[in-house]
Amino acid sequence: MVSYDKTQKILNDIFDIPISTGTIVNHVSEFAQKAEPVLNEIPVRLQGELVLYFDETGVNVDTEKHWLHTASS
């Protein structure tokens, strides 16, 4: 994962998109609200599958390790 500050720097420096960190935060929040119905439906659909695959992988966020868990059919 990339921090909001790093995302802002990448968009500005590499893609020449002038955007504030606050705007990025607002976009992420808006996306989270719009994605909520689909994210709630995924576990329901997975429960109806005959075969499921689960996995996890470590992701470093700043200097702290977080775990990303996945489930697929």
Per domain, the residue ranges of the chain are: 4-72
Residue 15 has pLDDT above 90, yes or no: yes
Distance of alpha carbon 59 from alpha carbon 73, whole angstroms = 23
pLDDT of residue 34: 98
pLDDT per residue as tens digits for the range 25-62: 999 999 999 999 999 999 999 999 999 999 999 988 88
pLDDT of residue 49: 94
pLDDT of residue 8: 97
Distance of alpha carbon 29 from alpha carbon 39, whole angstroms = 14
pLDDT of residue 61: 84
Residue 12 has pLDDT above 80, yes or no: yes
Q: In Å, what is the CA distance from 8 to each residue of 3, 4, 33, 52, 54?
A: 9, 6, 21, 37, 33
